[in-house]
Amino acid sequence: MSVSSLPSPTPAILSQEQAASRAVAVWLLVVAALIFAMAVIGAITRLTESGLSIMEWAPVSGILPPLSTAEWERLLALYRGTAEYQQINRGMTLDEFREIFWWEWIHRQWGRLIGVAYAVPLAWFWLRADLPRWLKPHLLIALGLGGLQGFMGWFMVASGFFGERTDVSQYRLVLHLSLALIIYAYLLWLALSLLRPQAAEQTTGPLGAAGRLFAVLLAVTVISGGFVAGTDAGLTYNTFPLMDGRLLPAGYAALQPWWLNWFETIAAIQFNHRLLATTTVLAALLLWLWSYGRDLAPATRQGFAAVAGVALAQFGLGIATLLLAVPVWLGALHQAGALLLIAATVFLLHSLRRG
């Protein structure tokens, strides 16, 4: 029998496959939403200086919070051994300790929730044969990245337990944040590939290449923001656009070798993030103007407009966060804005994938 004589799938079979794909896509979007919330909770944990309050990695027993006064006292005694307690929180009462403990505990429980929300449906869809063959290796990769992220979280926190550090390593924080955002973007891309398996044929030329370069610029800007968070660089130079009355702050190149300033000198870290953020929003607006009126697929036009709009809003949030010296609620909102901009950029890149 020739290939051409084989019967084509019936509408009922196609409908079942489409329904299964939509169900899998919804599951991936739900997990991505949980990661979105996790990143915001992580920002709050960082801004409230709560990240070092739990000094034990207990994947199973850590599910339960302290259930007795004696257990609370034991955990506080462990915390008293940190440089953060000795230099910043000496004399902290048990009630004050509880305030920082709960944010870190919620952060860890949310990570467990994400693990369950990913692994259990994955097994369900796999056993029901609802997963397209091309998707299976991607889902296993995402599962592995999630396990690595759990270890990376502890690796980050442990950096603040020893020596004279009063917080976690900014390098480990950036690694932890970057991996979370990679998983978030990866799941969004897979969900879009299920919901929109066929892209409209279009010719974007240099505009498409510029859109992809924008994604690289955004990644660098987000990483620079991680160094701002990891060094508390947003708590100084709380003016805009000048920094202590200067365009380029004094002390920008205080360390040698000079490139080390990008990661360890507060003046350089904040200046670089300002410069990158300004470049990012200008690039987003220029791309949108460039795309305006061109013969593009509707999704691509929407993608350029969404990236420009969210980038502009995020830029405004960043300035407000800086001017107000990073209040917790605004810092968390700025983190959420970064995640929304990443989502808009993933949508744009997905729409360009055949451009």
pLDDT, residue 336, reads: 98
Cβ atoms 50, 23 nearer than 8 A: no
Residue showing tokens 């929300």: 117
Domain's final residue, options 157, 175, 197: 197
Q: What is the mean pLDDT of residues 146-155?
A: 93
Indicate if 172 and 288 belong to the same structural domain.
no
At 36-71, the pLDDT tens digits run: 999 999 999 999 999 899 988 887 778 989 999 999
- 285 & 317 share domain: yes
Q: What's the confidence (pLDDT) of residue 14?
A: 54
Indicate whether 104 and 63 sit together in one domain: yes
pLDDT for residue 5 is more than 80? no
The arithmetic mean of pLDDT across residues 110-139, rounded, is 96
Give yes or no: residues 350 and 225 share one domain: yes
Q: How does residue 167 score in pLDDT terms, banded at 50, 70 and 90? A: confident
Cβ-based neighbours of 15, under 8 Å, separated by 6 or more: none
Mean per-residue pLDDT, 136-160: 94
Look at residue 52 and tell me if it is in a domain. Answer: yes
Out of 197, 216, 247, a domain closes at 197
What local confidence, expressed as pLDDT, does residue 11 receive? 57
Q: Please give the pLDDT value at position 61.
A: 74
Kindly state whether residues 233 and 189 are assigned to the same domain. no
Co-location of 59 and 156 in the same domain: yes
Pair 218, 239 in one domain: yes
Write down the pLDDT at residue 2: 41
Within a domain: residue 1?
no
The residue type at 305: A
Residue 5 in any domain: the answer is no
- Looking at residue 66, what is its pLDDT? 92
Q: What is the pLDDT of residues 251-296, one digit of tens each?
A: 999 999 999 999 999 999 999 999 999 999 999 999 999 998 888 8
For residue 174, pLDDT beyond 90: yes
Tokens for 247, please give them.
């365009």
Q: How far apart are CA 133 and CA 30, in angstroms?
A: 21
Tell whether the model's pLDDT for residue 216 goes beyond 80.
yes
Prior bond of 257 cis (ω within 30°): yes
- The domain tally of the chain equals 2
> What pLDDT is attached to residue 289?
96
HEC assignment per residue over 154-186: HHHHHCCCCCCCCCCCHHHHHHHHHHHHHHHHH
Mean of pLDDT over the chain:
91
Are 223 and 174 in contact, with CB atoms under 8 Å apart?
Answer: yes
Q: Is 0.85 topped by the overall pTM? A: yes
Q: What is the pLDDT of residue 354?
A: 59
Residue among 283, 280, 282 nearest 338 (CA): 280
Query: What are the backbone angles phi and psi of residue 199, rounded to the nearest 5°?
Result: -90, 150
Single residue among 163, 197, 231 that ends a domain in this structure: 197
183-213 pLDDT, tens digit per residue, is 999 999 999 999 987 766 677 789 999 999 9
Q: How far is CA 274 from CA 128, 232, 277, 317, 341, in A?
A: 49, 14, 5, 12, 17
Q: Is the pLDDT of residue 134 over 50?
A: yes
Give residue 240's domain range.
Answer: 204-355
Torsional class of 205: left (φ above 0), alpha (ψ -120 to 50), beta (otherwise):
left
Beta-strand ranges (E) seen in the chain are none
190 and 281 share one domain = no
Any domain includes 17: yes
Residues 305 and 228 in one domain: yes
Window from 11-15, 127-131, 169-173 with minimum mean pLDDT: 11-15
- Helix 206-231, helix 266-291: angle, nearest 10: 160
CB 226 within 8 A of CB 331: no
User: Sorting pLDDT into bands at 50, 70 and 90, what band is 151?
Assistant: very high
Instruction: Note whether 153 and 213 are same-domain residues.
Output: no
Q: How far is CA 226 from CA 116, 143, 146, 298, in A?
A: 27, 24, 20, 34
Q: Identify whether residues 347 and 221 lie together within a single domain.
A: yes
Does pLDDT of 6 surpass 70? no
Q: Which residues pair with 78 in a beta bridge?
A: none
* 286 and 144 within one domain: no
* Domain-located, residue 60: yes
